[in-house]
Amino acid sequence: MKVFYKKELLQEHLAEITIRASIGFIPTMGALHKGHLSLIEKANNENDISVVSIFVNPTQFDKKEDLRSYPRTIEEDLALLQTIKCDVVFVPSVSEIYDDNINALHFDFDGLEFEMEGKHRKGHFDGVGTIVKRFFEIVKPLKAYFGEKDFQQLQIIKKLVEKYRIPVQIIGCEIYREPDGLAMSSRNVRLTKAQRKEAPFIYKTLMKAKEKLKKDSIQTVIEWVEGEFKKNAVLQLEYFEIAHSKTLKPVRRKSKKASYRGFIAAFAGDIRLIDNIALN
Ligand code: PAF
């Protein structure tokens, strides 16, 4: 496994190999867990070499405190990557990526950026678009892998490559869950024991909502989810939405033809957790 800190050196190395090899790219913000490893495994199966980036991207955080407290475990991450097949790891500094201009570009994602996460995390998707586009330019992968836990992000990145004609195939990968159903997330390591115990409530509620939707209306199910969270002393609901899988616009009425998902964002103290499931 080769580790690079400078983009020029990474690019020189990749230029040598890509004449003959296809690159699968897995961008991450570190604090790696089994979910990340499953993305790397998939990339290994589908490409000649895998490149993982570890970079806590400052421009996608709307709150300074969230950026400050985001878990950073680079030693453990590199040790974990040594245990699997991972050809190249890119660990740039903030100045390596942004020089001294730590600002996001502005993107038009045809409205996807204004739904759900976009409403609650101002500028978040401009930051994500900026860094993912930058990484694609540096790494030049054939395929790039993203988890469905950040389903809106996945749709936005698909839109990014379509609009900017970036020749990268975007591969969405199923959510990797703990045995009790909690979606794996780098943020989970910050949960207290009590919060960790309660956190699977998010997935359980999504599953029950899916069941209820078989007979109840959209509005009834939304009110039911909101009511369930009001009774929970540990988790505060930020939003529950039932949205179309492609447009991410709220679903008003059930339809057999449309494909939609349930999305939850909730806080355990100051730790923000998200999850989603297909509802039909
Ligand atoms: O999903 C993430 O971890 C980040 O948003 C990403 C895609 C690595 C960009 O910083």
* Of 185, 138, 174, 134, nearest in space to 157 by CA: 134
Give residues (CB < 6 A) around ligand 1.
Answer: 27-29, 57, 60, 128, 131-132, 150, 153
Instruction: Give yes or no for residue 18 having a pLDDT over 90.
Output: no
The one-letter amino acid code at 196 reads: R
Fold of domain 2-173: Rossmann fold (3.40.50)
pLDDT in tens, 219-244: 999 999 999 999 999 999 999 999 99
- CATH 3.40.50.620 region(s) of the chain? 2-173
CATH class of this structure's domain 186-278: alpha beta
DSSP letter, residue 87 = -
Ligand 1 atom with the smallest distance to the CA of 186 is: 3
Give span(s): CATH 3.30.1300.10, the chain.
186-278
Query: 54: helix, coil or strand?
Result: strand
Backbone angles phi, psi at 82, to 5 degrees: -65, -25
Number of H helices, E strands in the chain: 11, 9
Q: How far is the CA of 205 from the centre of ligand 1 (A)?
A: 26
Q: What are the tens digits of pLDDT across the range 159-184?
A: 999 999 999 999 999 999 999 999 99
pLDDT of residue 17: 79
